[in-house]
Amino acid sequence: MSKGVPRPAGPFVKAGQVRIFDTTLRDGEQAPGAGLTAAEKLEVARQLARLNVDVIEAGFPAASPGDFEAVRRIAQETKGGIAVAALARCRDGDPQRAIEAIKVAERPHLHVFIATSDIHLKHKLRIDREQALADAVRWVAYGREQLGRDAEIEFSAEDASRTDTDFLLQVYAAVVEAGASTVNIPDTVGYAIPAEFAALVGRVVELVGEAATVSVHCHNDLGLATANTLAAVQAGARQVEVTINGLGERAGNASLEEVVMALRTRPTQFGEAGSRVQTEQITPASRLVSYLTGFAIQPNKAIVGGNAFAHESGIHQDGVIKNPLTYEIMTPQSIGLSGSQLTIGKLSGRRGLQQKLRDLGHDVEGEALDEVYRQAIALADAKKEVTDADLRALMEQRAAEVPASVELVGWSVTSSHGGNAVGTVTLVVDGRERTTEATGNGPVDALFQAVDDALQPVLSWHPALAEYEIKAVSSGEDAQGQVLVRCRRSSDEGPGALVVTGHGLSTNIIEASIEAYLVAVNKLHGAEINGVSVAFVAPRIEEGLP
Ligand SMILES: [Zn+2]
């Protein structure tokens, strides 16, 4: 087919390269409870740029003004040949909104999709195949016309793996004619099996030839997302849609770190088709995403799990010491795990700190460095040694800063065995100082109650606590405590409710708890009073996405 269609110039994959399309900020962010602020999304986008992915899918601009703004800011800021993609349904309004958000990008990448499987057409969209085909062609052509010949126009056939193959190929042929430069094959529901999926990919590769890049987007419902993605690369796919830590709806997406490290570790299996990812940035990226979303990484997770490079059992350890290759197929350094857990004392200086942070994947200079230095020194006063884990926690805390309309002035609590706790807090709420006292069944409960009481005259809701977690940042009895809370507004219930995370960090766990609670309150408050600048993304739309 369409061999005669000239392939538009643009950010195509070079021969022998697999384009890494990261969708952590779009598909990953759809994971329930993963809602990020615009500032947090920007922070993740900066790390994805350091990781040197090829495409950052920044969001779904039609979902909310907050997501629009986040995508626009990422599009504005991202340089260095990295494309910024936005998702749109094939429906009047969506592509326009997406184009508006990404047209400022150095490399705009429009991603339009429509479902093509009979089950989705019948029960979700209530349209027939002809209509779906016509809509797909219409909006691909529109995108090409608006963004010009150099832009990347990607089309996804949602639920492709459950679509009638003849119809699927007909759709892909038509959208390539209409100007699509990438055709994506999503295994939206994680249904495919590697050999079967590779056969499908092979047929699409054969169909579109040189006219478009073939992409895949695999979900992990059967634990096969990475396997399916790699089988697709072997069958000729040259774009893979992946997320950091495999974050995503339900069981998540194919994980970036697994796919990238497989390509790198076994190049001959993929015809030497590698990626340009700076793999040393994988660990910082993984930690940042885990921290901001509040989703912990299981210890045995491939590549980025806490135990992935720990060779604990005696016999392995002996082998690894004699020659690491006995049990290590990748080095910890290759994914940015610094071997050292050396501590820094009070005298290591600003420059030493800067180098240490660089080793941990954080580039800090100027005023920001001064501030981190002050914080690190204060910490060194509070506890004997400041470890890598402490520094990482400090940097993470900075990444998650939110504008505060509610600030803590002070607190106190009394608590004893067998009795209630009584807590007092003083807050500044929208510029006015308020002190309240409350009782609870423990010190944290009493203080959270006091915060609720202080907020009560100002807000029409109170924060409803959905999750509370506490962990030590490092070992030792003077370790810092890191608290994670997840909250929603009491007035906002049901599956579509906006759920935010809040983090606190202190050598005093009660202080860390209040801090975390107030961060969540400020996010919820900000989302209410200002849908854009403190933007909460939460693209909760009723129908699914690819
Ligand atoms: Zn998806």
**How does pLDDT run across 349-358, given as a tens digit for each residue?**
788 888 888 8
- Distance of CA 78 from the midpoint of ligand 1 (Å): 23
How many angstroms is it from 190 CA to the middle of ligand 1?
A: 9
Ligand 1 centroid from CA 249, angstroms: 7
Region 484-492: mean pLDDT is 89
| Residues measured by CB to lie within 5 Å of ligand 1, the ion | 27
- Cα dist from 337 to 142, 240, 284, 365, 504, whole Å: 45, 25, 9, 22, 25
Indicate if the pLDDT at residue 75 is higher than 70. Answer: yes
Q: What separation in Å is there between the alpha carbon of 113 and the centre of ligand 1?
A: 11
Taking the C-alpha atoms of residue 128 and residue 132, their distance in angstroms, rounded to an integer, is 6
- 272 pLDDT higher than 70: yes
Distance 183 CA to ligand 1 centre (A): 15
Is beta strand 500-506 parallel, antiparallel or unpaired with respect to 19-22? unpaired
CA 252/CA 359 separation, integer angstroms: 30
Torsions phi, psi for 452 (to 5 deg):
-55, -45
CA of 243 to the centre of ligand 1 (A): 10
**Interval between CA 155 and ligand 1 midpoint (Å):** 14
The number of CA neighbours under 13 Å toward the Cβ of 237 is 27
Cα(305) to ligand 1 centroid in Å equals 23
271 burial via Cβ count (<10 Å: 0-12, 13-18, 19+): exposed
pLDDT of residue 534: 39
Q: What is the 192 CA–ligand 1 centroid distance (Å)?
A: 14
Cβ atoms of residues 528 and 407 within 8 Å: no
Strand segments, DSSP code E, in 32-161 are 55-59, 83-89, 108-115, 152-158
Structure tokens at 359: 């080793």
Rounded distance from Cα 357 to ligand 1 centre (Å): 34
Interval between CA 60 and ligand 1 midpoint (Å)? 12
Cβ atoms of 70 and 87 closer than 8 Å: no
pLDDT at 391 over 90: no
- Could you give the angle at which helices 256-265 and 282-293 cross, rounded to 10 degrees? 170
Lookup result for tokens 């950052």: 56
With 0-12 / 13-18 / 19 or more C-beta atoms within 10 angstroms meaning exposed / middle / buried, residue 173 is middle
Ligand 1 center from residue 253 Cα (angstroms): 7
Residue 539 pLDDT? 46
Question: pLDDT tens, 510-538?
Answer: 999 999 999 999 888 876 654 433 344 44
Q: Which residue has the higher pLDDT, 342 or 474?
A: 474
CA atoms lying within 13 Å on the CB side of residue 402: 33
- The DSSP secondary structure of 200-230, one letter per residue, reads HHHHHHHHHGGGSEEEEEEB-TTS-HHHHHH
Q: Kindly give the residue spans of alpha helices, DSSP state H, lying in 269-426.
A: 282-293, 314-322, 349-359, 366-382, 388-399
**205 C-alpha vs ligand 1 centroid, how far in Å?**
21
Q: Is the pLDDT of residue 285 over 70?
A: yes
Picking from 86-95, 250-259, 300-309, which range would have the lowest pLDDT averaged per residue? Answer: 300-309
CB 48 within 8 A of CB 285: yes
Q: Measured in angstroms, how far is the CA atom of residue 407 from the centroid of ligand 1?
A: 38
Contact between residue 480 and residue 383 where contact means Cβ atoms under 8 Å apart: yes
Separation of 201 CA from ligand 1 center, angstroms?
A: 17
Q: In sequence order, which residues have a C-beta less than 8 Å from that of residue 388 and are 6 or more positions away?
A: 338, 340, 341, 342, 356, 360
Q: Is the pLDDT of residue 415 over 60?
A: yes
The CA-atom distances, in angstroms, between 304 and each of 180, 244, 286 are 35, 10, 7
Distance 175 CA to ligand 1 centre (A): 20
Centroid of ligand 1 to alpha carbon of 241 (angstroms): 9
pLDDT of 448: 97
- State which H helix or E strand residue 75 sits in: helix 65-77
pLDDT tens-digit map of 494-511: 766 778 889 999 989 999
Half-sphere exposure of 74 (CA within 13 A, CB side): 38
Ligand 1 centre from 178 Cα, in Å?
A: 24
In the structure encoding, which two tokens stand for residue 522, read together?
């400020």
pLDDT score recorded for residue 60: 94
**CB-CB contact of 412 with 423 (8 Å):** yes
Ligand 1 centroid, distance to 112 Cα (angstroms):
13
**pLDDT value, residue 318:** 67
Whole-number Å distance, alpha carbon 472 to ligand 1 midpoint, is 34
Phi and psi (nearest 5°) for 151?
-75, 160
Distance from the CA of 221 to the center of ligand 1, in angstroms?
A: 11
- What's the gap in Å between 396 CA and the centre of ligand 1? 27
pLDDT band at 235 (very low <50, low <70, confident <90, very high): very high
pLDDT > 70 in the chain, percent = 89
Spacing, Cα 158 to ligand 1 middle (Å): 9
Integer Cα distance of 316 and 309 in angstroms = 11
Which residues is 56 bridged to in the sheet? 22, 84
Here the tokens at position 338 are 């610094």
379 or 287: whose pLDDT is higher? Answer: 287
* DSSP label at residue 7: P
Cα–Cα nearest to 450, from 432, 423, 468, 428: 423
Between the CA of 255 and the centroid of ligand 1 the distance, in Å, is 12
Tell me the CA–centroid distance for residue 293 and ligand 1, in Å: 17
C-alpha atoms less than 13 angstroms from C-alpha of 381 in its C-beta half-sphere = 5
Name the residue with higher pLDDT: 120 or 532: 120
Query: How far does residue 307's CA lie from ligand 1's centre (Å)?
Result: 28
Q: What is the DSSP string of 478-512?
A: TPPEEEEEEEEETT--STT---EEEEEEESSHHHH
**Arithmetic mean of pLDDT, 325-339:** 84
Residue 311 clears pLDDT 90, i.e. is over it: no
How far does residue 215's CA lie from ligand 1's centre (Å)?
13
CA 218 to ligand 1 centroid distance, Å: 7
Contact 389, 337 (CB under 8 A): no
The pLDDT value recorded for residue 28 is 92
Distance 424 CA to ligand 1 centre (A): 46
CA of 177 to the centre of ligand 1 (A): 25
Least confident of 260-264, 348-352, 375-379, 460-464: 348-352
Q: Check: CB of residue 332 under 8 Å from CB of residue 339.
A: yes
- Residue 12 tokens, joined: 């195509």
Q: How far apart are CA 426 and CA 451, in angstroms?
A: 8
- Judged by DSSP in three states, 109 sits in strand
Q: How far is the CA of 325 from the centre of ligand 1 (A)?
A: 36
Residue 184 has pLDDT above 60, yes or no: yes
- Could you tell me the distance, in angstroms and rounded to a whole number, from the CA of residue 269 to the centre of ligand 1? 26
Ligand 1 centroid distance, CA of 545 (Å): 6
Return the closest-CA partner of residue 485 out of 505, 470, 506, 473.
470
Q: What is the mean pLDDT of residues 459-475?
A: 89
Distance CA 423, CA 408 (A): 14
On the question of pLDDT at 216 being above 70, the answer is: yes
The confidence score (pLDDT) of residue 274 equals 92
User: 58 C-alpha to center of ligand 1: Å?
Assistant: 13
